[in-house]
């Protein structure tokens, strides 16, 4: 009897030990996932920006395949198991790879746009990427197909459809105006060059679109793709910097011309094409390809000197500003985060200007950080103030009856953005607002 009890214990004890370790690991993971979910809720980061998974909890077995498959999981908690069910714990970090849905053995994941609380406008396009406005085409993330490779493929396919339009290569205007030089617009511009189309590409910012705005060193997951004039490009896993360098080299090698810092503001239909008005010129074109993504257009200040390259509308890397005199304009979370993170860099002199009398729109955590940084003498806060003029080495800010003239190397304007939907509607394009349903 004692021998058999001993035998039983020999087998039972390791099993028990394993069960205890497993339960401990599971509890730790659950705590980590709950913390990530709570942080998303507390910081208001609960709305996914693009295509994202909705998990059917009745079907989910909690196997975790989706968690392991998500390529963004390396940098953040995007998906996590809570109470044995997969949960989108970091919705704002989801960028719509869709790898989770592809691996789920239960078909428990559906990929959708928008949520019950935030609608996402998807324009109507036919299989040739032409919208309801004849001659106006849409490709890339704007049309609902996110990810770099998809955007490139669609940009090229839309260009091929445009080539088949009547009137291309005839008349005295352009064949095509491409709006935006992200992956979709850049690939389409190369396609237009390879077919010798008369093309202008207007880009309000810089080459690379959303990719150029990724944080420094971001790991980029993509897949091999065929690009006009470049042939097969074999990127799978790379960094933001390497991808941008590659595109810049391609731009140089092919001689493709992109008009940077030129924003398309209005498109009117004519009898045989379009009149495209930018903030600099007016073009007459047979077709238009909208590859403007979903980030929208940053709000500008509308002051003299704003056109200088030292004025930008997003902070990408605080380290860039080491040793510099920087003005941040705005009072939302992104402005406060930009000002304080730059002030943390050695040798910086930072001021923040905001037109209201307090930062009441921003989160408590960021307001506190501003107070602490200002109290430490590392940040000058100018409330109820407005930028009046930006010169090469200085900025003028009016506050009440006082004018501050600050030495300045860089201005970062964080005044929010205008989403593309009003622009699309103004162009006559029909959009459908999706609220998280398939
Ligand atoms: C944080 C983050 C991480 C991501 N990581 C990955 C990843 O690892 N792998 C992956 O495949 N995808 C990733 N994506 C998604 C990918 O970046 C986008 O799907 C892709 O860039 C879409 O390309 P696009 O050309 O359609 O649009 P965009 O890249 O958004 O480019 C649109 C361009 O149009 C310009 N524009 C807009 N309006 C105007 C106008 N009126 N006039 C002139 N120009 C205008 C904009 O300035 C912009 O340059 C990520 C996205 C985010 C936000
Ligand atoms: S892969 Fe499917 S079944 Fe497995 S955890 Fe994710 S949603 Fe649930």
Q: What is the chain's pLDDT, residue by residue, as a tens digit (438 residues)?
A: 567 777 777 777 677 766 766 667 677 888 999 999 998 888 778 888 888 999 999 999 999 999 999 988 877 889 999 999 999 999 988 988 899 999 999 999 999 999 998 888 899 999 999 999 999 999 999 998 778 999 999 999 999 999 999 999 998 999 999 999 999 999 999 999 999 999 999 999 999 999 998 888 888 988 899 999 999 999 888 999 999 999 999 999 999 999 999 999 999 999 999 999 999 999 999 999 999 998 888 889 999 999 899 999 989 899 999 999 999 999 998 999 999 999 999 999 999 999 999 998 888 889 999 999 999 999 999 999 999 999 999 999 999 999 999 999 999 999 988 889 999 999 999 999 999 877
Q: Which domains does the chain possess?
A: 20-112 (3.30.70.20), 120-296+420-434 (3.50.50.60), 311-416 (3.50.50.60)
Residues 6+ away with beta carbon under 8 Å from 327: 350, 351, 352, 353, 387, 395, 397, 406, 408, 410, 411, 412
Q: If you measure from the C-alpha of residue 418 to the centroid of ligand 2, how many angstroms do you get, rounded to a whole number?
A: 37
Pocket of ligand 2, candidates 60, 67, 79: which has the most ligand atoms within 8 Å of its Cβ, to mutate? 60
**Cα–chain center distance at 205:** 13
pTM for this predicted structure:
0.83
Q: Quick one: which of 202, 175, 181 has its CA closest to 266?
A: 202
Residues 6+ away with beta carbon under 8 Å from 257: 201
Give the CA-trace dihedral at 16, 20, 21, 27, to 10 degrees. 160
Pocket of ligand 2, candidates 26, 55, 57, 101: which has the most ligand atoms within 8 Å of its Cβ, to mutate? 55
Residue 284 to residues 55, 104, 274, 337, Cα–Cα distance (Å): 48, 49, 6, 42
Residues 6+ away with beta carbon under 8 Å from 220: 148, 211, 214, 235, 237, 238, 239, 240, 243
SS3 assignment, position 338: helix
Ligand 2 neighbours by CB, cut-off 6 Å: 55, 60-66, 86, 103-104, 106, 108-109
Q: Tell me if 434 CB under 6 Å of ligand 1.
A: no
**239: which strand partners?**
219
SS3 assignment, position 228: coil
Q: How many residues does the chain have?
A: 438
Q: If you measure from the C-alpha of residue 338 to the centroid of ligand 1, how many angstroms do you get, rounded to a whole number?
A: 21
Ligand nearest to the CA of 54: 2
Ligand nearest to the CA of 177: 1
Q: Tell me if 276 CB under 6 Å of ligand 1.
A: no
**Cα–Cα distance measured from residue 193 to residue 80, given in angstroms and rounded to the nearest whole number:** 45
Ligand nearest to the CA of 82: 2
């Amino acid at each position: 009897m004692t021998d058999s009890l001993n035998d039983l214990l020999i087998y039972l004890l390791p099993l028990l030990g394993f069960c205890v370790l497993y339960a401990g690991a599971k509890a730790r993971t659950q705590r980590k996932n709950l913390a990530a979910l709570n942080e998303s809720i507390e910081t208001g980061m609960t709305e996914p920006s693009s295509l994202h998974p909705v998990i059917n909890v009745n079907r989910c077995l909690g196997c975790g395949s989706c968690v392991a498959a998500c390529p963004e999981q390396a940098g953040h908690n995007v998906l996590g198991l809570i109470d044995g069910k997969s949960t989108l714990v970091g919705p704002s970090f989801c960028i719509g790879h869709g790898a989770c849905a592809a691996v789920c053995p239960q078909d428990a994941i559906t990929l959708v746009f928008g949520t019950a609380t935030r609608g996402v406008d998807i324009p109507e396009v036919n299989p040739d990427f032409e919208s309801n406005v004849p001659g106006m085409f849409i490709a890339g993330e704007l049309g609902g197909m996110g990810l770099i490779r998809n955007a490139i493929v669609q940009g090229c396919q839309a260009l091929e459809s445009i080539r088949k339009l009547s009137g291309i290569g005839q008349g005295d205007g352009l064949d095509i105006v491409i709006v935006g030089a992200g992956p979709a617009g850049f690939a389409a511009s190369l396609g237009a060059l390879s077919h010798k189309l008369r093309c202008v590409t207007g880009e309000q910012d810089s080459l690379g679109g959303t990719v150029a705005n990724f944080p420094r060193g971001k790991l980029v997951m993509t897949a091999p793709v065929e690009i006009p004039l470049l042939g097969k490009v074999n990127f799978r896993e790379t960094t933001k910097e390497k991808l941008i360098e590659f595109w810049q080299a391609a731009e140089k090698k092919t001689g493709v011309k992109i008009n940077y810092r030129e924003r398309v503001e209005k498109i009117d239909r004519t009898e045989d094409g379009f009149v495209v008005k930018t903030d600099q010129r007016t073009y007459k074109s047979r077709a238009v390809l909208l590859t403007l993504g979903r980030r929208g257009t940053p709000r500008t200040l509308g002051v003299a000197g704003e056109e200088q390259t030292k004025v930008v509308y997003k902070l990408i890397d605080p380290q860039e500003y080491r040793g510099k005199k920087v003005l941040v304009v705005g009072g939302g979370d992104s402005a406060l985060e930009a000002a304080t993170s730059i002030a943390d860099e050695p040798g910086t002199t930072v001021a923040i200007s905001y037109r209201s009398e307090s930062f009441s729109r921003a989160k408590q955590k960021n307001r506190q950080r501003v107070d602490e940084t200002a109290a430490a003498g590392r940040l000058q806060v100018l409330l109820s103030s407005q930028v009046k003029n930006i010169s090469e080495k200085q900025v003028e800010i009016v506050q009440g009856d006082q004018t501050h003239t600050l030495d300045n190397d860089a201005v970062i304007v964080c005044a929010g953005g205008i989403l593309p939907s009003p622009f699309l509607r103004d162009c006559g394009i029909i959009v459908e607002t999706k609220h998280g349903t398939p």
